[in-house]
Amino acid sequence: MKNIRNKACLSLILIFLFLGFVPLKGQGFVLKKDIYVAEDEVLDNAMTFGGDILVKGKINESVIAFGGTITIEGEVGEVVLGVGSEITLKSSAIINGDVVVLGGELDREYGVVIKGDTVYFNTSEDVSKFLKEGLGGVIGISLIPFLLIIKLITLFIWFILAVIFAAVFPRQICLASAQIRKSFWPIFGTGLLGLIIFFGLVILSVFLCFVIIGIPILISLITIGIIIKIFGRVILFHFFGESLARAFGSKQPSLLLSVSLGFLLVGMITIIPILGALFSFVLSIIGWGVVIRTRFGTVENWFRRNSLTE
């Protein structure tokens, strides 16, 4: 049993390293615990897990922290995202994009410039309030079915994931989203074939579980499936949101605005009984197709590129 767990853990690590490397390739990320950007220093992106980020110089794209702190005194080109982080924006700070705070604290000094949107969501308090009022209503006198509450909680989780992925992979999401309009049917066909092969491999790995080796394979396949589903769904959020924003006259909607609008549109449709489930299945096909064909948004058409290199 210990060997099985070790193999499963090793498989998961390899998958996350591979799938994490593909979208971030060429993104120029600096990933370490504590990051200091001096006044005359310029970086593309900065990310930390539980560390501190201090920016006195310039970040061309995104500053992202999971826990820890973010202090901005200089300039950020796109997104400042904190998940459970303390964010401080000094009076000299210039944020050309959005500021997103999920379950953390935001301190803005007078004079700070934020050209995009500010999303401040105290996740822990909002979730506890939602569960207390929603589930309390189910036990007492409720007008909202229990299953609907579960769907709303699921949508809430999707929104958090969408914001994080949009901040971490902005270029990849935009590139992949643009390919849906260019090559819809090839993407749909690729997604359908990919799902058929995936579920075939899952069934095969279930049978292989009887000979032990199938357990880590099954865990690996499930992990790959979850990552592709999330990445593909966020791409679709952007696609629908950008189309909706342009339909209402916005020439260049921000990434966060597009993803948020797309999330709201898709969320409202998927809540509808039967129709929502069918719509979600079609979205899964398209999402798988666009992720596979663009290799997580790193190329316009992976197959065409491979055929040219051959």
Q: Does 17 score more than 80 pLDDT?
A: no
CB atoms within 10 A of CB 259: 29
Q: Does 23 score more than 60 pLDDT?
A: no
Check residue 61 and report its DSSP letter: S
The residue extents of the domains of the chain are: 24-121, 137-309
Q: Does 130 score more than 70 pLDDT?
A: no
Residue 97 CA to residue 254 CA, distance in Å, equals 8
Comparing 303 with 233, which gets the higher pLDDT? Answer: 233
The pLDDT, as a whole number, for residue 264 is: 86
The pLDDT, as a whole number, for residue 124 is: 52
Q: What is the pLDDT of residues 93-108, one digit of tens each?
A: 999 888 888 778 889 9
Residue 145 has, within 13 A of its CA and on its CB side, a CA count of: 5
The pLDDT, as a whole number, for residue 308 is: 46
Edge to edge, what strands does the sheet with 29-31 contain? Answer: 29-31, 45-49, 63-66, 80-83, 99-102, 118-121
Residue 8 CA to residue 147 CA, distance in Å, equals 33
- Indicate the pTM of the whole model: 0.71
Q: What element of type H or E holds 151?
A: helix 146-168
What token pair was written down for 240? 């629908």
The pLDDT, as a whole number, for residue 28 is: 57
Q: Does 139 score more than 60 pLDDT?
A: no
The pLDDT, as a whole number, for residue 76 is: 92
CB atoms within 10 A of CB 112: 18
Q: Is 103 left (phi over 0), alpha (psi -120 to 50) or beta?
A: left
From the CA atom positions of the chain, what is the Rg in Å? 21
Kindly indicate the confidence band of residue 277, based on its pLDDT and cuts at 50, 70 and 90: confident
Span 123-152, mean pLDDT? 51
The pLDDT, as a whole number, for residue 149 is: 64
What token pair was written down for 169? 């992979």
Q: What element of type H or E holds 58?
A: strand 58-59
The pLDDT, as a whole number, for residue 85 is: 87
Q: Does 8 score more than 50 pLDDT?
A: no
Q: Does 300 score more than 90 pLDDT?
A: no
Q: What is the pLDDT of residues 161-183, one digit of tens each?
A: 888 888 888 888 999 999 998 98
Residue 238 CA to residue 248 CA, distance in Å, equals 15
Going from the C-alpha of 44 to that of each of 23, 37, 130, the distances in angstroms are: 15, 11, 38
Residue 233 CA to residue 285 CA, distance in Å, equals 10
Q: What is the pLDDT of residues 201-248, one digit of tens each?
A: 888 888 877 766 767 888 888 888 999 999 999 999 999 999 988 888
What token pair was written down for 65? 């922290």
The pLDDT, as a whole number, for residue 210 is: 74
The pLDDT, as a whole number, for residue 123 is: 54
Span 4-11, mean pLDDT? 45
